[in-house]
Amino acid sequence: MDLVAHRDTWEWLTALAVDHDHFRTPPSVEDVKEGRVQTVLSGRSLIGLLIKLWDTRSTAAPLEADWALATTTYNRIAAELTGVDGEGQTIRIVLDDGLPTESGD
């Protein structure tokens, strides 16, 4: 899965998920432009991240920053995964509203 996010969002996600048994920090995170980064997550790491996002949105105080970030990120990832049919397609998730969801490349 390709993930594009603002650097601050990526750092928050990494800090949130790093202690989950299934999350692995990707070997590279590429600066793309305007404070955004792009990286690739394995299915295993995605599972760990989703579990930590679910836990955070369930336990954080509603309308606080962690709750808002966890809820928005979880929902955006879940929406992108809904149409996946397992046919080897690359999933691209954009967590930065300043970027279009599809790239022109």
Tens-of-pLDDT digits for all 105 residues of the chain?
A: 999 999 999 999 999 999 999 999 999 999 998 899 999 999 999 999 999 999 999 999 999 999 999 999 999 999 988 878 777 778 889 998 775 555 444
Q: Which residues of 30-69 are buried (b: 16+ CB within 10 A; e: fewer)?
A: eebeeebbbbebeeebbbbbbbbbeebbeebeeeeeebeb
Instruction: Report the pLDDT value the prediction gives residue 102, as an integer from 0 to 100.
Output: 53
Asked whether residue 8 is domain-assigned, the answer is yes
Q: Give how many domains the chain has, as a whole number.
A: 1
Q: Give the model's pLDDT for residue 105.
A: 44
Q: Which residues have a Cβ under 8 Å from the Cβ of 37 and sit 6 or more positions away?
A: 4, 5, 6, 7, 10, 29, 30, 31
In a domain, 99, yes or no: no
Q: Is residue 70 part of a domain?
A: yes
43 token code pair: 């299915």
Task: With respect to residue 18, please indicate whether it lies within any of the assigned structural domains.
Answer: yes
Q: Could you list the residue range(s) of the whole structural domain that residue 78 is in?
A: 2-94
pTM of the predicted model over 0.75: yes
- For residue 2, the one-letter residue type is D
Sheet of 2-6: strands edge to edge? 29-33, 36-40, 2-6, 92-94
- Dihedral sign (CA 34, 19, 28, 41): negative
Domain membership of residue 58 (yes or no) is yes
Is residue 50 within 8 A of residue 40, CB to CB? The reply is: no
Residue 3 has what pLDDT? 95
- Residue 100 is assigned to a structural domain of this protein: no
Specify if 105 maps to a domain: no
Residue 99 has a pLDDT of 56
Residue 81 lies in a domain: yes
